[in-house]
A and B are shown apart, each in its own frame.
Chain A
């Protein structure tokens, strides 16, 4: 009975949505409201000179709509706080090897290959973070790639090994770095004479502005990348963590 009602509801919703789609502006048309909007054209034409980013998307997420991204880094920090509140952090310091059940028995070949690959993945993610304004990618993408590399490492070598590599002492202070960077850049914008989150400070000479904007953009990228990576790794470790660790460790 209940499932029939829900199926009817979903069918009705699908019908409604398809009805709307039939009346929506045609896809891919340069004349439809989204593509012909003056908002879009300005972003496409002026993004390079106004935000000094070749990649218009980076210009939008960090500069034009930086406030959204500030919200986004708060969301991911919130997720970390929530996961830690629910599951707790993995134990600081030494975990006895026999209590570490996250370790997967694997052959020498796999271990060597993973140990060989992970540095290169991290190198690639650093490139992604730093070149966000030039090529596809940016802070969060790079952070996610670092997170993914640590996932590979953890599945093969276990939580103990990987939390030796990126210890809690390192992650703990860096988890909030994304928001703190944004806040600092925002306040610097105020000091520079603009509004919150102004990159091109009105108070300084015009020929200095491009450099300031570029460096602030890179600073924010690094903040988001490091913060995002640390948050993802912490969430992962907190979920892998076993209850036994607490029982066994002194």
Chain B
């Protein structure tokens, strides 16, 4: 019964698992990043649902709004930080994707990590320092 009442949490968890599925199973790295973003927004959705109050109003005191009817502002404040973190991670990841494509010519993880079993030749650390 509680499960039906908390249907928004259920949706958030479902989206979270869709995102995780994408990260683990899909082979395309841009798809993986889309999955990462879906996962992040799912968690944000979960947080905001946590702070919701039935029949609540936004926590902005305009025109003598009643504080006891306002929704919880803390999750919203936290998620504002979370969104910035998410876009930062995405930017860095996409920069790495661009560089990877330039060097490997593929976006497929299987092809990307195919020659990984080979041990690195000596001095690879210094090679290719463009």
Contact B76 A57 (CB under 8 A): yes
Q: Given A61-B77, A61-B81: A55 and B59 within 8 A (CB)?
A: yes
Residues 3-17 of A, flagged 1 when their CB comes within 8 A of B and 0 if not, give 100110110011001
- A249: CB under 8 A from chain B? no
Q: Given A18-B10, A18-B13, A27-B6: A39 and B91 within 8 A (CB)?
A: no
Contact B50 A140 (CB under 8 A): no
Residues 1-27 of B, flagged 1 when their CB comes within 8 A of A and 0 if not, give 011011011100110110011001100
Q: At the interface with chain B, which of A40-48, A163-171, A185-193, A215-223?
A: A40-48
Please list the 3 inter-chain residue pairs (A to B) with the smallest Cβ-Cβ separation, ordered nearest first. Answer: A79-B88, A28-B54, A60-B77
Interface residues of B (CB under 8 A from A): 2-3, 5-6, 8-10, 13-14, 16-17, 20-21, 24-25, 49-54, 56, 58-62, 67-68, 70, 72-78, 80-81, 84-85, 87-89, 91-92, 94-96, 98-99
Contact B80 A140 (CB under 8 A): yes
B10 surroundings in chain A (CB, below 8 A): 18, 21
CA distance A41 to B56 in the complex (A): 14
- A68: CB under 8 A from chain B? yes
Task: Tell me how far the C-beta of A202 lies from the nearest C-beta in chain B, rounded to whole angstroms.
Answer: 25
Contact B3 A135 (CB under 8 A): no
Which chain B residue shows the least CB distance to A64?
B77
A203 surroundings in chain B (CB, below 8 A): none
Contact A86 B60 (CB under 8 A): no
Contact A75 B84 (CB under 8 A): yes
For this complex, 18 residue pairs linking A to B, each with C-beta atoms less than 8 Å apart, are A18-B3, A18-B13, A21-B6, A21-B10, A27-B8, A28-B52, A30-B54, A40-B72, A41-B67, A56-B61, A61-B77, A61-B81, A68-B81, A69-B81, A76-B87, A76-B88, A79-B87, A83-B95
Contact A28 B53 (CB under 8 A): yes
Q: Given A21-B9, A68-B81: A86 and B53 within 8 A (CB)?
A: no
Contact A135 B81 (CB under 8 A): no
**Residues of A contacting B: mostly:** helix
A34 surroundings in chain B (CB, below 8 A): 50-51, 72, 74-75
Across the interface, B73 reaches (CB within 8 A) one of A24, A56, A235, namely A56
Contact B13 A17 (CB under 8 A): yes
Contact B80 A83 (CB under 8 A): no
Contact A6 B51 (CB under 8 A): no
Which chain A residue shows the least CB distance to B71?
A35
B75 surroundings in chain A (CB, below 8 A): 34
CA distance A87 to B103 in the complex (A): 13
A138 surroundings in chain B (CB, below 8 A): 80
